[in-house]
Amino acid sequence: MNSIIVAVIVAAFGFAATRQLFDPAAGSVMQALSKTIVDDAGQAVTLAFGLIGVLALFLGVMKVAEAAGLLRLLARLLRRPMQRLFPQVPADHPAMGSMILNIAANILGLGNAATPFGLKAMQALDQLNPRKGEATDAMVLFMAINTASVTVLPTSVIALRAAAGSTDPAGITLTTLFATTCSTIVAVVAAKLGQRYWPGPVTPTTKTRPMTGHSAEVAGGGGMPLDVKPPAPVRSSPSFSAVPDSWRDDQSAAPTWVSVLFLLGFAATFPLLFAYGQQIGGWLLPTLIAAFVVYGACRRVAVYEALVEGAREGFDVAVRILPYLVIILVAIGMLRASGALPALLGFFSPLTTALGIPVEAVLMAILRTLSGSGAFAYLASVINDPAIGPDSYTGYLVSTIQGSTETTFYVLAVYCGAAGVRRIRYALVAGLAADATGFAAAVLICRLLYGG
């Protein structure tokens, strides 16, 4: 990201200076550039404050769901399918429990809880790795699923759309669900094909007892190569860090018929999405909030206290993203005011327009793969552009791309670093295939529902 920011600022200055010196018809380009720098820095702060309320609400609702045990329930439903997806991992191994909780947390949008589970899963999977430093098939499949995880509630994107004045901030919920489901399917297929054509370390299939405490640390400690630096410790936020220990140790699984029924019910939503997408969209968000609150009350959760506790994180999140918003919005604003961005968009526009894809969406997809914070700030700049807005086809499309794709390079770097993996094999191919599928699915569903 450092190189991208430097390149953008230097390109903006160089383009503006060239126009100012050699194109008299361009007017006072440098003066416009100076004004944009100041204005966009202030706009970033205003935008961050606008996010606080919506983020506080959603994080409060998700805290109720977490306290009510919804994460544990979802983990039980996923255990049977996960055992089929990862036959190399014994059902009673710590890696299986961590992977299930990671995926369940991602589905519910609990990113702060998902990341620690994911890092623990990679370290536990390394205990089964006969060839340290090289990713096993299970590791690659797990990382591929993480780059394309099914998402039910893209909280941050909904909050950003609300701050941008959208009349239907949650209108991307169904489009995001469709795109992430498609990308997850492709991620699994790509990883399974990779297992067949690029065989790697053979994971022992003998049943092992769970390793805990000091024994687990000893088993996992020998696999960290000296030339690989582990990632910085992940600090989960206070509101999502207190996951009961019993959740981590729960090896129970829902009956097979219950898991099958759950998956069939999930698949049945897609015909309804295609037929009644816009009508269902208005019902989805209120229904989810009411369902989580009622479920929490039935589970005897102190709903009000949980809402308040989770809502506190909304302020923390807004403060954390403010520096990224300021830098990215100013850099993109400089690129736009200098004339470089309009020139770049004009160059690619004929090709993308012929395909029915706005060029802003292509840039969004590329940036999303490289930087989550950069893509989030670019999304903010696009949907706050008066010529586009959050409720246009382009606005819906870039919002769906943000919610349905992942920073693949970051995920691979952090997860591989946690397990000391230097040779990732086909993990990057599977991750990029998932990203490309998520982009294509986002274009398809947004064109179907919102035109274009």
pLDDT tens series, the chain, 452 aa: 577 788 889 998 999 999 888 888 777 889 989 998 998 888 778 877 777 777 787 778 878 877 888 777 777 777 888 888 899 888 778 888 788 878 877 777 666 667 777 888 898 899 999 888 899 999 999 999 988 877 777 878 888 898 888 888 888 888 898 999 999 999 999 999 998 888 766 665 544 444 444 333 333 333 333 333 343 433 333 333 334 444 444 446 666 666 667 666 666 665 665 566 556 656 767 887 888 899 889 988 899 998 888 888 777 777 777 787 788 778 878 888 888 877 877 787 788 877 778 888 988 888 888 777 778 888 998 999 888 999 999 999 999 998 888 878 878 888 888 888 888 889 989 999 999 999 999 999 999 888 76
Q: Is residue 61 in a domain?
A: yes
Neighbours of 258 (CB within 10 A): 13
Residue with token string 């850099």:
331
Q: Is residue 69 in a domain?
A: yes
How far is residue 89's CA from residue 67's CA, in Å, rounded to a whole number?
Answer: 29
Q: Is residue 243 in a domain?
A: yes
pLDDT of the residue at 399: 94
What is the span of the domain harbouring residue 299? 2-10+27-450
15: its two tokens = 């383009």
Number of domains within the chain: 1
Using CA atoms, how far residue 203 sits from 130, 160, 225, 418, in Å, is 6, 43, 19, 19
User: 60 φ, ψ to 5°?
Assistant: -65, -45
pLDDT of the residue at 60: 83
Kindly state the DSSP code that residue 229 receives in the 8-state scheme. P
Q: Is residue 18 in a domain?
A: no
Using CA atoms, how far residue 387 sits from 24, 33, 335, 339, 393, in Å, is 26, 19, 17, 16, 12
How far is residue 243's CA from residue 295's CA, in Å, rounded to a whole number?
Answer: 18
The residue among 154, 221, 198, 83 whose CA lies nearest residue 399 is 154
How far is residue 333's CA from residue 41's CA, in Å, rounded to a whole number?
Answer: 9
Residue with token string 């299986």:
96
Q: Is residue 444 in a domain?
A: yes
Q: Is residue 19 in a domain?
A: no
The one-letter amino acid at 41: A
Long-range CB contacts (< 8 A, 24+ apart) of 80-84?
A: 80/253, 80/254, 80/256, 80/259, 81/259, 81/263, 83/253
User: 254 φ, ψ to 5°?
Assistant: -65, 155
pLDDT of the residue at 257: 66
Is 0.75 surpassed by the pTM of this model? no
